[in-house]
Chains A and B, each alone.
Chain A
């Protein structure tokens, strides 16, 4: 039988192999392209574990945005702008921000066609109502001092608002874009009017709150009408509060949790070396501190405070408690101002003993700490370091809610605390922490010179003057020792390998809005 041309060609091994390669190669290329450029996957539930639960979500009723509360607030509500590392504004609910020629007014153009989760339209009225409520002194917003340069906010169009300032303010854009407090996050006017915002927050964000079981978990589900088409990718985010470090670690290793935040050195070491986990680190500015109540004896006396500061050896503490996974802190603002001398009180037992002898009375203090291993450990190290100078420390374990209450009601001697700091701007937080009139000045620190310097810092637009003022404030505060430095925090989070698209962790709370799970 006479064979056809194709049959003859195919019978030759070389040509046969060529044909097979020609067929397989495109398929392989297509397959590899699919792997390399695989788009985000939709669906799935992300389980996140942190130590602290939310305190609430209403700017007036909630003093501190902490732990899972901060993460949830930034997923449910949105800011007018975000900020990139070069301090440029990135539009979110705002489209543009233009200052007047004298720098005393800012006009913000708002995004149209956005709705809150409850169906209320987002517009200039929503922004103005939120800011007027915060700025109204009768509402006693706890961070009001931080925002004092903002005189008023007014509507100039359906989708345009104007911020009127007392004076040109260097930190204004950073405040607008801050993810730290609740001021920048715009809530639904309906939820605020109905007084439901604190427990059941409503915003315009990619997720809405389905359930908040206090002390246990916050369940967020996908907002199907989110204004950014195609986002978010996840169906659900569960923010679990697991106070016990060991239980949180066990939940993560066993796969019950996809992402956890921790500060325990052994967990950091184990998970960093674990092939199944991706480490996410962030070194923010700010400092973990032991705050002193300077309005109550014996720490109302600067000699006692300085003595305790001289007896405290932060480097030993970092090694003993954190195994050097946190950084040494001499100030709360990092290196951004390049101050030559910070005024940090380095350990000196002889000076400490001399100051206590000069004080001349027995010194007994209480230390209020979280009922965690870290809290107790810090307390025991404090007891140990203050023992040689004759200062006795009584440990008072309490949960975070109780500590916050004790600190704000000034019923403490020493308490675990932190000086938070925006990645972009330090002045508002410094003002809030050390101005004698600030409700957030939890140490009750009172120094007229520092108050004046803080005012200079706030009203100055000159970088050199600001730097000089800042360095002076830093030195004076360190001299007066209203707190002890525990460390400069380094945040550590560990995610399973299936978590994708986690952006750079620049702010205090984990940015989870755009992540997806590759399961």
Chain B
């Protein structure tokens, strides 16, 4: 009888719902009724979460001023910018890095790993040697060099981080392919005269894809943390684009008088990374 797999609430559904919420916020941020993330309110710096903020609003003609008020649900940062807006807009950066960079690694590293594991011999020697070179290269030096020569923005950061994830995916893919290439269904496919490309595409890839995708969730979490660290060091997206790491760095200075400036983005980052890790582990257990 086929065993029905169950997905636990705590280690599957809650992390999944959190991640879906983050993705939803990132996609719909432009339509949300939130203040622009770069508007500074010099009268309300470091406002606590839940503070009612009154401000002068210019009408359409630009000549009349009206008082308006709104609730700053997550407070404001040291420049008086709304934290909720910055977290929502900042999630786009974290997700873009967290999704696209591992995707680069998954496609390139996964393909190379499959070639190395299937063909063995010279191809394997070259590919594993190349991966060792990438692994041996100090990643921070690479990111600093790219940032210095090409500038620090999202579209230089993502490929750089993607390249750094290639060896990890390559190893997972190669290990899985080595196991699969000796299995009966691969031998059978060879016997009936299928080409190597067809075997790789039809027999190996579907079996390698699952562990690679599960591993990709772990790497996603890692990439989000790395982006946060790089933002903290000023090596990620430049202002005025907000990012979670940049927000944590900005809050560091006012940690004693306004801890929420640092703790709110740190908590969001923590929950997102934790969700990805827990979800990845759960899926790995379920698929193994």
Those of A253-300 within 8 Å (CB) of chain B: 264, 266, 270
When the two chains form the complex, which single residue of A245, A264, A376, A394 contacts B234, counting CB atoms closer than 8 Å? A376
- Majority secondary structure of chain A interface residues (helix, strand, loop or mixed): helix
Interface assignment of A316: CB less than 8 Å from any CB of chain B: yes
Residues of chain B within 8 A of A397, CB atoms compared: 234
Residue of B nearest to A379 (CB): B239
Q: How far is the CB of A14 from chain B (nearest CB, A)?
A: 60
Interface assignment of A380: CB less than 8 Å from any CB of chain B: yes
Residue of A nearest to B45 (CB): A320
When the two chains form the complex, which single residue of B39, B238, B249, B257 contacts A395, counting CB atoms closer than 8 Å? B238
When the two chains form the complex, which single residue of A246, A266, A380 contacts B239, counting CB atoms closer than 8 Å? A380
Interface assignment of A384: CB less than 8 Å from any CB of chain B: yes
When the two chains form the complex, which single residue of B38, B253, B256 contacts A383, counting CB atoms closer than 8 Å? B38
Interface assignment of B240: CB less than 8 Å from any CB of chain A: yes
Number of A-B contacts defined by CB within 8 Å: 45
Residues of chain A within 8 A of B256, CB atoms compared: 266, 270
Does A316 lie within 8 Å of B239, measured CB to CB?
A: no
Interface assignment of B79: CB less than 8 Å from any CB of chain A: yes
Q: How far is the CB of B196 from chain A (nearest CB, A)?
A: 49
- Return the CB mask of A374-385 against B: 1 if under 8 Å, else 0: 001101110110
Those of B26-74 within 8 Å (CB) of chain A: 38-40, 42, 45
- B interface residues, tally (CB under 8 Å): 19
Q: How far is the CB of B52 from chain A (nearest CB, A)?
A: 21
Q: Given A246-B252, A376-B234, do A266 and B240 touch, yes or no (CB 8 Å)?
A: no
Interface assignment of A19: CB less than 8 Å from any CB of chain B: no
Residues of chain A within 8 A of B250, CB atoms compared: 373
Residues of chain B within 8 A of A266, CB atoms compared: 253-254, 256-257
- Return the CB mask of A394-416 against B: 1 if under 8 Å, else 0: 11010000000000000000000
Q: Given A320-B79, A320-B80, A376-B234, do A384 and B253 touch, yes or no (CB 8 Å)?
A: no
Does B39 lie within 8 Å of A384, measured CB to CB?
A: yes
Question: What is the CA–CA distance of A233 and B57 in the complex, to the nearest angstrom?
Answer: 61
Residues of chain A within 8 A of B80, CB atoms compared: 320
Does A381 lie within 8 Å of B40, measured CB to CB?
A: yes
Does B253 lie within 8 Å of A376, measured CB to CB?
A: no
Residues of chain B within 8 A of A246, CB atoms compared: 252-253
- Return the CB mask of B227-242 against A: 1 if under 8 Å, else 0: 0000000100011100
Those of B107-131 within 8 Å (CB) of chain A: none
Those of A366-392 within 8 Å (CB) of chain B: 371, 373, 376-377, 379-381, 383-384, 387
Q: Given A320-B45, A395-B238, A395-B239, do A381 and B253 touch, yes or no (CB 8 Å)?
A: no
Question: What is the CA–CA distance of A395 and B239 in the complex, to the nearest angstrom?
Answer: 7
- Return the CB mask of B120-160 against A: 1 if under 8 Å, else 0: 00000000000000000000000000000000000000000
Question: What is the CA–CA distance of A384 and B234 in the complex, to the nearest angstrom?
Answer: 19
Residues of chain B within 8 A of A371, CB atoms compared: 234
Interface assignment of A87: CB less than 8 Å from any CB of chain B: no
Interface assignment of A319: CB less than 8 Å from any CB of chain B: yes
Question: What is the CA–CA distance of A371 and B233 in the complex, to the nearest angstrom?
Answer: 9
Q: Given A316-B42, A376-B234, A377-B79, do A384 and B254 touch, yes or no (CB 8 Å)?
A: no
Question: What is the CA–CA distance of A246 and B250 in the complex, to the nearest angstrom?
Answer: 11
Q: How far is the CB of B214 from chain A (nearest CB, A)?
A: 38
Does A380 lie within 8 Å of B79, measured CB to CB?
A: yes
Residue of A nearest to B42 (CB): A320
Question: What is the CA–CA distance of A107 and B80 in the complex, to the nearest angstrom?
Answer: 59
Question: What is the CA–CA distance of A381 and B40 in the complex, to the nearest angstrom?
Answer: 8
Residues of chain B within 8 A of A379, CB atoms compared: 239
Residues of chain A within 8 A of B39, CB atoms compared: 384
Question: What is the CA–CA distance of A316 and B80 in the complex, to the nearest angstrom?
Answer: 12
Residues of chain B within 8 A of A245, CB atoms compared: 253
Does A384 lie within 8 Å of B240, measured CB to CB?
A: yes
Question: What is the CA–CA distance of A397 and B246 in the complex, to the nearest angstrom?
Answer: 14
Residues of chain B within 8 A of A387, CB atoms compared: 38
Residue of A nearest to B148 (CB): A398
Q: How far is the CB of B76 from chain A (nearest CB, A)?
A: 12
Does B257 lie within 8 Å of A384, measured CB to CB?
A: no
Those of B192-212 within 8 Å (CB) of chain A: none
Q: Given A371-B234, A373-B250, A397-B234, do A384 and B40 touch, yes or no (CB 8 Å)?
A: yes
Question: What is the CA–CA distance of A371 and B152 in the complex, to the nearest angstrom?
Answer: 13
Question: What is the CA–CA distance of A270 and B238 in the complex, to the nearest angstrom?
Answer: 30
Residues of chain A within 8 A of B254, CB atoms compared: 266
Q: How far is the CB of A393 from chain B (nearest CB, A)?
A: 9
When the two chains form the complex, which single residue of A264, A270, A320, A394 contacts B40, counting CB atoms closer than 8 Å? A320
Question: What is the CA–CA distance of A43 and B109 in the complex, to the nearest angstrom?
Answer: 63
Does A383 lie within 8 Å of B240, measured CB to CB?
A: yes
Q: How far is the CB of A509 from chain B (nearest CB, A)?
A: 26
Question: What is the CA–CA distance of A245 and B78 in the complex, to the nearest angstrom?
Answer: 15
Q: How far is the CB of A376 from chain B (nearest CB, A)?
A: 6
Residues of chain A within 8 A of B239, CB atoms compared: 376, 379-380, 383, 395
Q: How far is the CB of B190 from chain A (nearest CB, A)?
A: 57
Residue from B40, B239, B249 whose CB has the most chain A CB atoms within 10 Å: B239
Residues of chain B within 8 A of A264, CB atoms compared: 253
* 6 sampled A-B residue pairs with Cβ under 8 A: A264-B253, A320-B42, A373-B253, A383-B38, A384-B38, A394-B238
- Nearest 3 A-B pairs (CB), nearest first? A320-B42, A380-B239, A384-B40
A377-B79, A397-B234 known; 9 other A-B pairs, CB under 8 Å?
A245-B253, A266-B257, A320-B42, A371-B234, A373-B250, A373-B253, A379-B239, A384-B240, A395-B238
Q: Which residues of B contact A (CB under 8 A)?
A: 38-40, 42, 45, 78-80, 234, 238-240, 249-250, 252-254, 256-257
